[in-house]
Copies of this chain bind each other. A is one copy, B any other.
Amino acid sequence: MTRPVTSTDVARRAGVSQSAVSRAFSQGASIAPETRRKVLEAAAELNYRPNRIPAIMLSGRSRMVGVVVGGLSNPFYASTLECLATSLRAAGLQILLVHVDDALTLDSALDQLLSYRVDAVVTALAIGSQRAARMLSDLAIPVICFNSRLTGPWISTVVSNNHAAGLTAAQVFESCGVTRPAWLAGPVRNAASRARGHGFIAGVRANSARWPDGVLEMRGDDSYESGYDAIRRLLARGERPDGLFSSNDLMACGAMDALRQHGSLNCPDNVVMMGYDNIPQAGWHAYGLTSFDQQVDCLVDAATQLLDAALGPDGGPVSRTRVVDARLVTRRSTARLI
């Protein structure tokens, strides 16, 4: 193997100082445009790539953030990852990707996170157990996660205003004239789903004159198939809800397809429906699903701000929470009844 090209080689070729080469490759460093041009030309000719590792060893900072992903078959998580990647890159951070099979919690990423030298962890997944929260706190690096009920020292969270959205869903159903409201929950350990359900059920109970029988409750596992199966079972039991709030859009799409197949019921003529996440499929013509948009841009902005603060001089073992309101996107699925 030949000797790697060093910044000294580039400096010599460009006829500039070695510090000028270093500045040319440092984000935000002061350097005359002409000097920078000379350095980049020489670097291209010599096929030079700056080596960040000595800088990492000196600073103790890798500028590398562990991003834990899972459940990417849910388009919500896929778009969150894209948004997060763009935002972290703009902040001059690199992303070490840690993938977990779980679509809800980052707990199984702990082994990997323990062995990597990252400056921080950012994830759209929640923390699943007190033990995981404790181990993450022990890393003594900032951890930012979405929709996590569990936090701890060093761990901050950005949450969608799930409870408020649940209340809003009940109001929308009231204005549609729904007489038999139903709730399709996600898995028990999905804290965001629980908060959505609590809000919705509270909204229905607050209107007990209209809805004396309360809420018809079902449960899925956040997948399309589980929404489809839940409605099939419900209809087979002879239940006939006329307003369905689903904890996420994937299950709502499955539920709508089950109604369609059943034949006698139709959304929105006999059943109005609402979902959560505003995934692209909610806008597809086969669905036209009214949904709560988590505003991924705002969630990611809030996460990046928390990260900036945590990596700054006032960082440390603090724990902050940022709440982002969901935005109601109204489509055909709530356009009828009454």
Contacts and interface: CB of A to CB of B under 8 A. Distances in A.
Interface string A6-44: 000000000000000000010000000000000000000
Contacts of A47: 138-140
Contacts of A285: 228, 254, 257-258, 260-261
Going nearest first, the 4 A-B pairs with the smallest beta carbon separation are A85-B99, A257-B285, A95-B97, A286-B286
B72 A72 contact: yes
Interface string A102-144: 0000000000101111000000000000000000001110000
A153 interface: no
Interface in A237-272: 253-254, 256-258, 260-261
Given A72-B81, A73-B75, A115 B67 contact: no
A67 B50 CA distance: 19
Contacts of A73: 75, 78-79, 82, 280
A305 interface: no
Contacts of A115: 25, 49-50, 52
Interface residues of A, number: 55
18 contacts: A1-B60, A47-B139, A49-B117, A50-B115, A53-B117, A57-B57, A64-B96, A67-B97, A69-B82, A72-B82, A73-B82, A75-B75, A85-B99, A89-B99, A95-B99, A260-B285, A260-B286, A286-B287
When all copies of this chain in the complex are counted, the total is 2
A90 to B, nearest CB: 11
A96 B89 CA distance: 12
A335 to B, nearest CB: 16
Contact of A117 (B52, B112, B139, B254): B52
Interface of A: 1, 4, 25, 47, 49-53, 56-57, 60, 64, 67, 69, 72-73, 75, 78-79, 81-82, 85-86, 89, 94-99, 101, 112, 114-117, 138-140, 224, 228, 253-254, 256-258, 260-261, 280-281, 284-287
Contact of A224 (B85, B98, B284): B284
A82 to B, nearest CB: 5
Given A78-B78, A86-B101, A253-B284, 18 more contacts: A47-B140, A49-B116, A52-B116, A52-B117, A53-B57, A67-B97, A72-B78, A72-B79, A72-B82, A73-B75, A73-B78, A82-B99, A94-B96, A96-B96, A224-B280, A224-B284, A228-B285, A257-B286
